[in-house]
Amino acid sequence: MASLNMVQTIARTLDEEMTRDERVVIMGEDVGKRGGVFLATENLFDKYGPDRVIDSPLSEAAIIGAAVGMAVHGLRPVAEIQFADYVYPGFDQLVSQAAKLRYRSGAQFSAPMVVRMPTGGGVKGGHHHSQNPETHFVHTPGLKVVYPSTPYDSKGLLKTAIRDEDPVVFMEPKRLYRAFKEEVPEEDYTIPLGEAVIRREGSDLVMISYGGTMTETLKAADALKEQGISAEVIDLRSLLPWDEQRVLESVARKGRVVLISEAPRTANFISEVAATISEEILDTLEAPPMRVTGFDTPYPYAQDREYLPGVNRILKAVQQVIDY
């Protein structure tokens, strides 16, 4: 076991997968000698050389477009977008080409590729370095979308994503890159996509989150415990597919649910989870599903902590579902 933070885990996982499978190549802006803006590809250029760790031009359309071509021709590219906010110039390549390749070819071709992107706020990055665009990709048939919150999960999910036969968007909460360390096994392991995990057991209500807001959600659960309220915490980990069965079973037993995501409120992915709960198990609920999200505004320059769903906002929502 090694004690690693998230970005160290990602770097090691990429190294392991490149050693395991020579078809795995990395490309993106500054991923070579620099090791990426967050050092997620540190030392890989020296080890594998410029043919497998490729510094790209400053063009997301070129990065994703080249990755599609590589994937079709037998490679397994891992493309890095420096910040999720910059993915939009390559959006068409990803959602119109990579995502639809298997369908439009009648399953003759696929695009086994991963697009990694540091995502979310909390680092005082302003509105061009803090966005959460996951809903765009979850809304796109043919893509898979992953959003881990721990170093352990990052390794298992990234390995699964790289080995998948279809394109995977791998979103990394950058404010958790170096937030904490945990024990990560050195041996090989994978985590299936679409399998949520229970971070806290509880009996009074369920709190559901993913990515960067898991930290605040767990802090809220600890604060509730001091008040004598037992909250179960579910980390979705994977958004497309997502673990509908586990969520419905858990919420049906407790009857109350609070859903937390830092993306803007309207059409937030967590709203899809709330809608599914309402459609499938309405008669088991003691209160309507309550959402705690970002706001329907551009991400602010200075007030990012006010924008993000903090512990106090989560606790207020919990009180509302308890008092309903």
Q: Answer for the pair 182, 216: CB distance below 8 angstroms, yes or no.
A: no
**To which H or E segment does residue 290 belong?**
strand 290-292
Residues 6+ apart with CB under 8 A from 106: none
Amino acid identity of residue 286, one-letter, is: E
Beta sheet of 238-240, edge-to-edge order: 53-55, 24-28, 76-80, 114-119, 168-173, 144-146, 238-240
Active site residue 129: yes
Beta strands in 41-113 (DSSP E): 53-55, 76-80
Residue 42: phi and psi, rounded to 5, are -60, 135
Give the residue among 259, 253, 251 at the shortest CA–CA distance from 220: 259
Q: Helical H runs in 188-232?
A: 214-226
Report how far residue 34's alpha carbon sits from residue 38's, in angstroms, rounded to the nearest whole number. Answer: 9
Sheet with strand 257-260: strands edge to edge: 197-200, 231-235, 205-209, 257-260, 290-292
Helix, strand, or coil here: 14? helix
Q: For residues 74, 84, 314 and 183, what is the CA-based torsion angle, rounded to 10 degrees? A: 50
Catalytic residue chosen out of the listed positions 73, 127, 129, 136: 129
Please state, in angstroms and rounded to a whole number, the distance separating the CA atoms of residues 143 and 82. 20
Q: Which two tokens stand for residue 72?
A: 């079709």
Q: Which two tokens stand for residue 73?
A: 């021709």
Could you tell me which of 233, 155, 168 has the C-alpha nearest to residue 194?
168
By annotation, the residues acting in catalysis are: 129
